Amino acid sequence: MAITPTSLAAGVASSVTNKSFEVVAEDVPRKILIIGSFDPAKTSVTPDQPQQIFSAEDCGSIYGFGSMVHRLSLGVFDAQAGVETFVQPQDEAGGAAAAAGELTFTGPATANGTIYLYIAGDLVTVSVASGDTLEEIADAVVAAILADSNLPVTAAKVAVTFEVTITAKTKGTYGNEISLAVNLKTGEELPAGVTFAVSTAMAAGTGTPDITTALDGLGTGDGANEDFYTDVVHGYLQDTTTLDAISTYVGPGNTAIGLYSNTVGRPFRCLTGDNAAGSAALVALKAIGDARTTDRSQGIVAVPDSPDHPSEIAARSIAECAKLNISIAAQSYARTPLTGVFPGDKGADRWTSEYDNRDSAVKSGISPTKVVKGEVQLQNVVTFYHPASIPQSSNGYRDFKNIAILQNILFNTRAVFSTDEWKGVFIVEDVAKVNATNRIKAKDTTAVLGTCVALAKAFEKKGWIYGSAFTIEELGKTGSIEIRAGGTGFAIVFRFQLPGTGEIIEISNEFDTNIG
């Protein structure tokens, strides 16, 4: 029998249970944050206040289907599984204008067929019957576009001439990157008698919201990024003001500032996208990266000639990275498929097809992709960070996966010294000399060393550090653990080596024909 909470009879009960009291490192819960504009008709939305969404449909119903944040959520939810996702909505910039374009068709059709129209990489099929006039074809195109609420555009027919005008649902420069095309897949062709042309590509979208207000909405000072969003994507492309604001908020350089401050310790990482083809596009991207060498928070993923919107490419990429890092922070992203991203035309000048180009891009802080059997795959995912003062072999902030590791290490080193074990402690020279009653809250440098060693071994088990031996050896050196002046606490220097990245496998095959 056993003494239970409802027992009344006198007795003394004692039992034993095998428990593990070692420090166990916990992975930071991955949290994706989408920052962008929403449909201004959604008057119930509170700008610059984050809200969790549970699906792309949920996002569309709250913020407007086809709006910037909804489009980004489509990419995020197509890619990720099990990562909490939030939206930080922003009003469109004051005085912003919507991008617009125009499609031109000819008719009548001389046979039944289908128009395979692509808008930002999304397929819109338009059925055409033999004999359909130009006006009927234009009406069918407009109806098909309006029927798909997920599209980032609206459409209207021009009177008399029957062109189809396309207008972005979200005002701003975002709309300028919405592509218009037909027949992107093998076997697709226009119905007989019908021709197509993009008479005006999407353009004239102006205005970018001030992302500073969205960032401040996440918290400022010691409360910055209070809810610890780990992965961020926005729809403002490579807008310099936006990139600068994010870098400042996270904290540039190699010092404890911004989200890397020792009173915050909650950095996030952010990706934007690019789809320009040709060597000039590579030169332009490298110029951006080489101008931001101390930015350890952001990077650009490039898929040259893809018709997908660059920001939506970034959304899928950030979600894939977050998904892989849910439980394995040190995992590389090389050869991870970007499912749903169009690779573009085989005949296009994809600068990413050449290894030297990809290598050059990575060294400038740009993340190339590669098309393998028609599938777009991530390769190196990197931040802009590459100051001349840091050797390439020691550049820890460069790899995106290293930021995930650092997020975990910052989280756990703070968490372990925030437990009840370290609550209300007092400092003595030697804990062993304190009586049993008071020893529970007494701490000395040996106790700190023990906790730090336990952390190193826990990090080693997670693969967050190359090995614990180096860290333990460093902890034993003079100056690594000291009592602060005046006995106000402990000063700890916790040194570790990040794990390597196995993205290059170099094989040298040797052979001989001399049988003798």
User: What is the distance, to the nearest Å, from the Cα of residue 218 to the centroid of all Cα atoms in its chain?
Assistant: 17
What are the tens digits of pLDDT across the range 326-342?
A: 989 999 999 999 999 99
282 phi/psi in degrees, rounded to 5? -65, -45
Mapped onto helix, strand or coil, the DSSP state of residue 476 is coil
Contact at 8 Å (CB) between 482 and 491? Answer: yes
When comparing pLDDT for 27 and 1, which is higher? 27
CA atoms within 13 A on the CB side of 490: 22
Distance CA 91, CA 70 (A): 14
Cβ neighbours around 49 below 10 Å, total: 12
10 phi/psi in degrees, rounded to 5? -65, 145
261 phi/psi in degrees, rounded to 5? -60, 145
Peptide bond connecting 108 to the previous residue in cis, omega within 30 degrees of 0: yes
Q: Is pLDDT of 14 > 90?
A: no
**Average confidence score pLDDT of the chain:** 95
Q: What is the pLDDT of residue 6?
A: 79
CA atoms within 13 A on the CB side of 147: 10
Distance CA 163, CA 419 (A): 67
Q: What is the pLDDT of residue 45?
A: 97
| Lowest mean per-residue pLDDT among 11-25, 383-397, 415-429, 484-498 | 11-25
SS (H, E, C) 41-82: CCCCCCCCCCEEECCHHHHHHHHCCCCHHHHHHHHHHHHCCC
Q: What is the pLDDT of residue 212?
A: 98
CATH assignment, 100-203: 3.30.70
Rounded to 10 degrees, what is the CA torsion of 303, 305, 306, 309? 90
* DSSP 8-state class, residue 28: P
Model confidence, pTM: 0.93
Q: What is the largest CA-CA distance in the chain?
A: 99
Contact at 8 Å (CB) between 91 and 37? Answer: yes
What are the tens digits of pLDDT across the range 239-284?
A: 999 999 999 999 999 999 999 999 999 999 999 999 999 999 999 9
What are the tens digits of pLDDT across the range 82-127?
A: 899 999 999 999 999 999 999 999 999 999 999 999 999 999 999 9
Domain ranges of the chain: 31-92+208-404, 100-203, 423-492
Q: Is pLDDT of 22 > 80?
A: no
Q: What is the pLDDT of residue 15?
A: 67
Q: What is the pLDDT of residue 477?
A: 96
Cβ neighbours around 377 below 10 Å, total: 18
Sign of CA pseudo-dihedral 246, 252, 258, 262: positive
Q: What is the pLDDT of residue 2?
A: 72
Q: Is pLDDT of 80 > 80?
A: no
Contact at 8 Å (CB) between 258 and 224? Answer: yes
* Strand arrangement, sheet containing 122-128: 122-128, 113-119, 180-182
Q: Is pLDDT of 348 > 60?
A: yes
Q: What is the pLDDT of residue 87?
A: 98
Give the residue-averaged pLDDT of 489-496.
96
